Structure 1
């Protein structure tokens, strides 16, 4: 009996010990504070197995938005057709500069900006496969800010970019620029078409019409590179205009020469080394409310012909310029008045001189245009054969 009683006592003691040990393990989790923080390392044991299991799981595939994939694919396809241009100019304090270019065909023709290669003593072209070639200048057109250079490399190195059209662009479309800003090769920036139909005055006094404005970053070195649409086609050749702020760099306003102008000018630069711009040979002003009142005009919109250049196409056709000068509020100088007012060209309404410039950009030297004019209160149609801009 005593042995049985002793065994029962031992079993009871063991049960009490187990219960006490269980309570000891759970008490720290039940209390409002953590006085037994020294025991917390015991918790680490339970995390080992799940951590090992997670490392065996296959990595999740990266997800890209459809628009991101479009841009990625365009960059991979178009980047080899964008070159880095290094210009050596011994008279320049910095020794030259860098820019971008578009591979135009497999004959070695590369399109860039005219201002990029101005004054160049030597030009080096760097391709995406690290090929470096010397380039020669075939032709330039400062008024359109376009130039063509040529390299002699194997045709397999040349990846011509597909040319699109700028005729049907809309504000809001995706605009993708690839170039070499500040010497950083094949940099991509993305934005949208911010505006269309801009007319930019050149230092020569003439203008580029139908220029594309974009908020894709265009910085020094992007000049001459392509502006692409969402299909990867060239819609313009980027041209950098230094902002007036002292910081420099992109301010969200970049410009590109429209590809339709490129397609019109470049073949002539390749064949003849220059482009013959059509020319009317006039100077004029857009009609405004103050001018209409001051000159007592019978129409409220159009382009007032202030001067007809002697010996020019319009002079030969009989167009008349101003015969007397009149002070007009808001104008710094007297306006040559009493000249013809152009209200349409080839039946396209004319609101200002920019409309005439834009239309002429679509024509050729030797082509005849019909000017609808107001003279002494009467409407007249006057044919003018376009000459070559001097």
Structure 2
């Protein structure tokens, strides 16, 4: 009996397979893959669209087009020293010693070039080489050490300039390209994604809001362009994270976003110092651990680490260990955004600052002044911060 049941089962399976094969061979033409969708989950629901898969050729075309738009505006910055040398029995001749500094980005067709402050710090005679080989002597027209930005000018017109993008529209995972001159090998393009947004607490400058990317950034890339797939500038490549001070790229690079660049650039172009609002306290990011240590009832806000002497904050009664909850009713959540918010306050304007003092909420009125040079009003790094594993400036030479 069991044997007959097994034979019946085997014959049924064989017939079914045959029917399927026949249908595949002579049945109606199958719908294209793009048209195949899952059945609606509920009556009347629209079918879920199938994502379009970009071909390798499409990807190559998109990347190449972005490079074509952006690369002509990315330059090499260097210095050159000429030395006369006399050799026995020979006429004197001139030796040219070139010292590469980093990269830069042309932001206007009449010769304004944006780069990092640390690229040209202490340099009196920077030179600029365009991708087409033309070189110019540049002059530094503006610097802002607080954001690590500097602006150069060359006497040239009709230069290819980069289009400015919107870094506030970026999303983690978005593809990006880094363009610069690493190790002085010549203009180089690397690809990656946006790995994170709003990175701060790195101790690189006073207004940190970095775009993190895994696009390769190395010595010589500082001051170069981070661009989107439209070839638009979304950041200036600035630093890399190098464990054990190895200075090698390990997939963590940082760029200054255009949201900061656009606030600084007008002052740099005018040759003026960037003026910022100032309250006068040293902020520290409030964490769960810090809240427990201080016995606080909140875990979101900014701890006042120190009130700076002779500051508007001190005059208004702000105290160390106060927790800033809001400024003009805008919640204080991340310390880097709070610092940017303070910088945007017009000097002379009075703002309402809500703080938590112990278990009591207090509202203070603080009249902002102009941020002094070398101000201490910057993020206080947590005590556990390990300086030996801190990010390194990408190209110091």
**TM-score using structure 1 length:** 0.71
How far apart are the structure 2 equivalents of 1:267 and 1:178?
A: 24
Partner residue, 2:256:
257
- Alpha-carbon deviations, 1:301-351, whole Å to 9, x = none? 322323211111212322222xxxxxxxxxxxxxxxxx4221122333334
How far apart are the structure 1 equivalents of 2:152 and 2:142?
A: 7
Contact 1:89 1:121 in 2 (8 A): no
Partner residue, 1:3:
none
Relative to structure 1, the CA distance from residue 67 to residue 369 in structure 2 (aligned partners, 3 Å threshold; closer, same or farther) is farther
Size of the aligned set, in residue pairs, is: 304
How far apart are the structure 1 equivalents of 2:122 and 2:232?
A: 31
The alignment partner of 2:212 has SS state of strand
Partner residue, 1:73:
65
Partner residue, 1:199:
200
How far apart are the structure 2 equivalents of 1:82 and 1:243?
A: 25
Residue 199 of structure 1, CA deviation: 1.1
Partner residue, 1:180:
181
Contact 1:209 1:361 in 2 (8 A): no
The alignment partner of 2:176 has SS state of strand
In structure 1, list runs of 5 or more residues that go unmatched: 1-62, 322-338
Partner residue, 2:221:
222
- Which of the pair has more CA radius of gyration? 1
- Alpha-carbon deviations, 1:265-318, whole Å to 9, x = none? 111112134322333211244444454444433333322323211111212322
Matched, 1:138 2:120: no
Partner residue, 2:266:
267
- Equivalent runs, 1:1-390 vs 2, <5 Å: 64-88=56-80, 96-153=99-156, 155-156=157-158, 158-202=159-203, 207-241=206-240, 243-245=242-244, 247-321=246-320, 339-351=321-333, 353-360=335-342, 362-387=344-369, 388-390=371-373
Contact 1:278 1:365 in 2 (8 A): yes
How far apart are the structure 2 equivalents of 1:64 and 1:340?
A: 56
Residue 111 of structure 1, CA deviation: 0.3
- Alpha-carbon deviations, 1:51-82, whole Å to 9, x = none? xxxxxxxxxxxx95212211101111211111
How far apart are the structure 2 equivalents of 1:314 and 1:220?
A: 41
How far apart are the structure 2 equivalents of 1:259 and 1:189?
A: 19
How far apart are the structure 1 equivalents of 2:81 and 2:297?
A: 55
How far apart are the structure 1 equivalents of 2:207 and 2:198?
A: 10
Relative to structure 1, the CA distance from residue 108 to residue 95 in structure 2 (aligned partners, 3 Å threshold; closer, same or farther) is closer
- Of 294-303 and 229-238, the range deviating more from structure 2: 294-303
- Of 308-317 and 138-147, the range deviating more from structure 2: 308-317
The alignment partner of 2:191 has SS state of strand
- Alpha-carbon deviations, 1:96-128, whole Å to 9, x = none? 433111101123110000000011131111112
How far apart are the structure 2 equivalents of 1:107 and 1:146?
A: 19
The alignment partner of 1:265 has SS state of helix
Cα RMSD (Å): 2.5
**TM-score using structure 2 length:** 0.70
- Alpha-carbon deviations, 1:139-191, whole Å to 9, x = none? 111120100010002x12x1111101111211001111111111122211110
Relative to structure 1, the CA distance from residue 261 to residue 288 in structure 2 (aligned partners, 3 Å threshold; closer, same or farther) is closer
Residue 250 of structure 1, CA deviation: 1.4
How far apart are the structure 1 equivalents of 2:175 and 2:293?
A: 45
The alignment partner of 1:240 has SS state of strand
The alignment partner of 1:68 has SS state of helix
The alignment partner of 1:315 has SS state of helix
Residue 364 of structure 1, CA deviation: 4.8
Relative to structure 1, the CA distance from residue 142 to residue 352 in structure 2 (aligned partners, 3 Å threshold; closer, same or farther) is same
Contact 1:261 1:361 in 2 (8 A): no
Contact 2:326 2:354 in 1 (8 A): yes
How far apart are the structure 2 equivalents of 1:277 and 1:97?
A: 33
Higher RCO (CA-CA < 8 Å; seq separation 6+): 2
